[in-house]
């Protein structure tokens, strides 16, 4: 990986976007690496939770709009886009990743960088970070799944406001309107997110994977279909050793040790 630092500890795979001089703006290399990184994490049995965060003072400032202007690419972006766009595949990579994905918003998240965080299953924010849809400030409409994820998190009216104004949102408001799951002090932000991730990683991997699939599917599926999927998945869970361990731990009044079996 050229622009992502990959680390795995205690079942937690941390992906750190590493273009701090550009506030971790997404170019084509970073975009491709993100897709690859989520695919690898999804297939790795040693990984139970994924964290995505940024190096330096930014989380991700969105697409790097300066590269073409500086002549660093021989092709225009329009020649490289397919029907999902440059960063559309990243949203699918996160949603289709079988592991819970946490966005650790350590600094500025804007445009496609905010959309990247919105695609994650959970989001935490440093108390000195800020986020913005931002597109409208550059004369652009949203991409990267922004118009899909944002209304589902904060409601249609609030999403309309945030996208059409492009205004800055700070941590307290982000938590209040349901954009994020929590705020941690900047000086202990990464530690607190890691503590949460390690605790989450101790959960039953099979049940967590199936739960994520259900929650993802439920966005656009009728109740009858979801009920059938729930029943099929919970029957699958009952066949695992993790359920047996969960029952034993409950009767023995101890913390269960799940192995994903």
The residues, any chain, with a CB within 8 Å of residue 101's CB and separated by 6 or more, are 38, 49, 50, 51, 52, 94, 119, 120, 121, 122
Strand partners, 184: 126
Q: Whose CA is closest to 49, among 255, 252, 203?
A: 203
Q: How confident is the model at residue 65 (pLDDT cuts 50, 70, 90)?
A: confident
Reported as a pLDDT band with limits 50, 70 and 90, residue 234 is very high
Question: Under DSSP, is residue 6 helix (H, G, I), strand (E, B) or coil?
Answer: strand
What's residue 75's pLDDT?
A: 42
The sign of the dihedral angle between the CA atoms of 156, 132, 173, 161 is negative
81: pLDDT confidence band, cut at 50, 70 and 90? low
Assess contact for 129 and 106: CB atoms under 8 A: yes
30 Cβ contact list (under 8 Å, min separation 6): 2, 3, 4, 17, 19, 24
**Per-chain mean pLDDT for the chain:** 90
What the chain holds in terms of domains, given with CATH numbers, is 4-201 (3.90.226.10), 205-252 (1.10.12)
Strand 130-132 to 169-170 pairing: antiparallel
pLDDT digits (tens, 9 = 90+) for 137-159: 989 999 999 999 999 999 999 99
pLDDT digits (tens, 9 = 90+) for 205-222: 999 999 999 999 898 899
- Is the dihedral angle over the CA atoms 192, 93, 55, 129 positive or is it negative? negative
| CA dist., res. 238 & res. 113, Å (int) | 39
DSSP string across 75-118 = S-GGGT--TT-TTHHHHHHHHH-SS-EEEEE-SEEETHHHHHHH
Whether the per-residue pLDDT at 80 is higher than 60: the answer is no
Q: What is the mean pLDDT of residues 26-52?
A: 94
Task: Report yes or no: 153 and 97 within 8 Å, Cβ to Cβ.
Answer: no
Catalytic residues: 89, 143
């Amino acid at each position: 990986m050229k622009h992502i630092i990959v680390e795995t500890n205690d079942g937690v795979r941390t992906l750190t976007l590493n273009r701090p001089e550009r506030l971790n703006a997404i170019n084509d290399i970073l975009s491709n690496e993100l897709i690859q990184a989520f695919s690898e994490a999804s297939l790795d049995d040693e990984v139970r939770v994924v964290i995505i965060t940024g190096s330096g003072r930014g989380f991700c400032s969105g697409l790097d709009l300066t590269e073409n202007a500086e002549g660093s690419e021989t092709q225009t972006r329009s020649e490289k886009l397919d029907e999902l766009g440059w960063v559309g595949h990243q949203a699918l990579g996160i949603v289709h990743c079988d592991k819970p994905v946490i966005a650790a918003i350590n600094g500025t998240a804007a445009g496609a960088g905010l959309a990247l965080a919105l695609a994650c299953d959970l989001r935490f924010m440093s108390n000195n970070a800020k986020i913005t849809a931002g597109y409208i400030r550059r004369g652009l409409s949203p991409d990267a799944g922004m118009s899909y994820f944002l209304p589902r998190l904060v409601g249609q009216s609030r999403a309309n406001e945030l996208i059409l104004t492009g205004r800055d949102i700070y941590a307290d408001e982000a938590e209040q309107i349901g954009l994020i799951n929590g705020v941690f002090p900047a000086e202990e932000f990464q530690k607190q997110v890691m503590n949460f991730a390690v605790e989450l990683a101790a959960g039953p991997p099979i049940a967590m994977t199936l739960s994520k699939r259900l929650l993802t599917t439920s966005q656009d599926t009728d109740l009858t279909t979801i009920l059938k999927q729930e029943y099929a998945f919970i029957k699958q869970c009952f066949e695992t050793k993790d359920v047996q361990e969960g029952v034993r731990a409950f009767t023995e009044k101890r913390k269960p040790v799940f192995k994903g079996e």
